[in-house]
């Protein structure tokens, strides 16, 4: 990444460390020496006070004063000399007493204009001095004690400068190590901070692609973990919402398709009804006009009336079947699933149709006697069987046999109605279940068929989610349907 938080965090941390170290080094370089000099002046004042107090108490020559002065000299790296009015050395912390005594006398009686004055009072003077013999710079304090003795305290500035230089070098070394360590530590810390952010970034990218499987699994208690938990909740909410939207959209598409289908069905229904009613209405109108014109022959009057009544009856049957089919296709006729004996239903129906069989000289074969219980809508099942049987009755030829069989399977029973006669044309089989489709229109017209019987069968079987069909044989046709036994 061009603007990686990890890099920015690391660079900022390293920059802060480098800046801090550099600032410390700069302060040391400019102020530490002054601080040391001030500290050294304070040490000289402490030593002066100790000497003056001892001089007031007359303890300059005591062993206790020697011990105290030795401690101060060692602690602050100070050289000390005390001389009396006759220039005799009373106390000295160095072996070369003559040199330091001469320095003291020079400071008191010689010209000190070349020396930098640091502090001056009635009793002492603090100044910078330079020893040309040893090429050493000192900070020295000289004056007169309250008992009249003269003193000189001095400390080499080289020690101060060395201390400052050593401190600066040490700080530089420590700074380099601190920068290196802080850089590594900052990289590690920034990595730990940015890795969860990168993980959340990848999850958000997947969410953009509508992939909600990825989840944040961080176990920390930080704000990032809280953000990850919120993103997980957001992902679940979006997934649920999109699922609901897709479901609603799918239902809407189904409703639109259903509406279009209903519109097409309504148009087709009106077209088919108009077509089917055209012929009987024309016949009724023609024969009614004949009656109106006055037919004197009673036999012709009766014939005209019979035709009108017959056509009206056919129209009545067709309208009833169309209403039944319309209710089935629009789902307005609910299916009532119940358990009943299909064998008993068929036997009862055949008993009621016995007179029709005798009139048409048709032989029925139905050998099933043991009860077979099925789950279905009993009234609609009888309607299906009635349509199959009626078709078989009107198309039965040759030997004039209708064979009804029940074939049991695992959890179903297949009911088939076979009639002898001519097989169906193969090109007609796919269209048998269409409304108003007739294989032989002249013959269908002869017995009053409406062309919607098999459409009713299709609608009923679809409403019960069961299979149905037709089989062609050389000597006849078999229509079948299946029902659930469990």
Alpha-helical regions (H) of 92-156 = 97-109
Q: What are phi and psi for residue 437, nearest 5 degrees?
A: -85, 130
Direct distance between the N- and C-terminal alpha carbons of the chain, in angstroms, rounded to an integer? 66
CA 294 and chain centroid, separation: 87
pTM score, whole prediction: 0.41
Render each residue's pLDDT in the chain as its tens digit; 486 residues.
Answer: 555 666 666 677 777 777 777 777 777 777 777 777 788 888 888 888 888 888 888 888 888 888 888 888 888 788 888 888 777 888 777 766 676 777 766 666 666 666 788 888 888 888 888 776 767 788 888 888 888 888 888 887 776 667 777 777 777 777 778 777 877 877 777 777 777 777 777 877 777 777 767 777 776 667 777 777 787 788 788 778 888 888 888 888 888 887 887 677 667 666 666 656 666 777 777 778 777 776 656 667 777 787 778 777 767 766 666 666 666 666 556 778 899 999 999 999 898 888 888 888 889 999 888 999 999 989 889 989 988 998 898 888 878 899 999 999 888 999 999 999 888 888 888 888 887 676 654 444 444 455 677 888 888 888 888 999 999 998 899 999 999 988
Residue 263 makes CB contacts below 8 A (sequence gap 6+) with none
Q: Residue 43 corresponds to which tokens in the numbers above?
A: 């040490």
> How confident is the model at residue 484, as a pLDDT?
92
Q: Which domains does the chain have, with CATH numbers?
A: 5-167 (3.30.450), 334-484 (3.30.565.10)
> How confident is the model at residue 481, as a pLDDT?
94
Residue 418 makes CB contacts below 8 A (sequence gap 6+) with 392, 402, 403, 404, 405, 473, 476, 477, 478
- Report d(CA 476, CA 422) in Å as an integer: 5
Which residue, 325, 338, 322, 344, is CA-closest to 273? Answer: 322
> How confident is the model at residue 320, as a pLDDT?
67
Radius of gyration of the chain (CA): 62
- Report d(CA 382, CA 336) in Å as an integer: 13
- In angstroms, how far apart are the furthest CA atoms of the chain? 189
CB 126 within 8 Å of CB 118 = yes
Secondary structure letter of residue 50 according to DSSP: H
> How confident is the model at residue 443, as a pLDDT?
45
Q: Residue 364 corresponds to which tokens in the numbers above?
A: 């029925």
> How confident is the model at residue 346, as a pLDDT?
92
């Amino acid at each position: 990444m061009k603007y990686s938080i990890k890099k920015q965090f690391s660079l900022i941390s390293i920059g802060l460390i480098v800046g801090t170290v550099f600032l410390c080094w700069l302060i040391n370089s400019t102020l530490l020496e002054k601080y040391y000099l001030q500290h050294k002046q304070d040490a000289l004042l402490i030593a002066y006070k100790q000497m003056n107090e001892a001089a007031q108490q007359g303890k300059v020559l005591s062993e206790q004063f020697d011990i105290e002065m030795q401690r101060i000299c060692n602690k602050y790296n100070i050289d000390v000399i005390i001389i009396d009015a006759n220039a005799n050395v009373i106390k000295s912390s160095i072996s070369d007493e003559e040199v330091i005594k001469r320095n003291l006398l020079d400071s008191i009686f010689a010209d000190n204009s070349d020396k930098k004055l640091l502090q001056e009072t009635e009793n002492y003077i603090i100044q910078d001095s330079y020893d040309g013999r040893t090429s050493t710079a000192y900070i020295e304090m000289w004056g007169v004690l309250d008992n009249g003795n003269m003193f000189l305290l001095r400390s080499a500035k080289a020690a101060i400068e060395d201390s400052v230089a050593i401190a600066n070098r040490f700080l530089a070394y420590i700074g380099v190590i601190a920068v290196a360590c802080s850089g590594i530590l900052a990289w590690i810390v920034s990595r730990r901070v940015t890795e969860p952010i990168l993980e959340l970034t990848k999850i958000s990218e997947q969410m953009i692609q509508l992939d909600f499987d990825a989840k944040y699994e961080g176990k920390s208690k930080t704000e990032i973990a809280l953000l990850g938990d919120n993103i997980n909740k957001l992902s679940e909410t979006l997934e649920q919402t999109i699922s609901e939207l897709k479901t609603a959209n799918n239902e809407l598409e189904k409703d639109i398709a259903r509406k279009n289908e209903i519109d097409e069905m309504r148009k087709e229904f009106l077209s088919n009804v108009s077509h089917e009613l055209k012929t009987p209405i024309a016949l009724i109108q023609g024969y009614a006009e004949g009656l109106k014109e006055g037919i004197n022959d009673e036999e012709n009057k009766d014939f005209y009336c019979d035709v009108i009544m017959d056509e009206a009856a056919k129209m009545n049957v067709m309208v009833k079947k169309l209403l039944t089919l319309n209710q089935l296709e629009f789902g307005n006729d609910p299916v009532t699933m119940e358990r009943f004996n299909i064998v008993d239903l068929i036997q009862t129906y055949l008993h009621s149709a016995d007179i029709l069989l005798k009139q048409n000289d048709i032989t029925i074969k139905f050998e099933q006697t043991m009860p077979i219980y099925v789950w279905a809508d009993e009234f609609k099942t009888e309607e299906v069987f009635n349509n199959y049987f009626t078709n078989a009755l009107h198309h039965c030829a040759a030997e004039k046999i209708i064979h009804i069989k029940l074939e049991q399977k695992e959890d179903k029973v297949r009911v088939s109605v076979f009639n002898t006669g001519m097989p169906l044309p193969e090109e007609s089989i796919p269209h048998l279940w269409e409304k108003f489709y007739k294989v032989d229109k002249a013959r269908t017209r002869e017995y009053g068929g409406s062309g919607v019987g098999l459409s009713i069968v299709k609608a009923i079987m679809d409403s019960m989610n069961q299979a149905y069909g037709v089989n062609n044989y050389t000597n006849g046709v078999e229509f079948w349907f299946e029902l659930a036994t469990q």
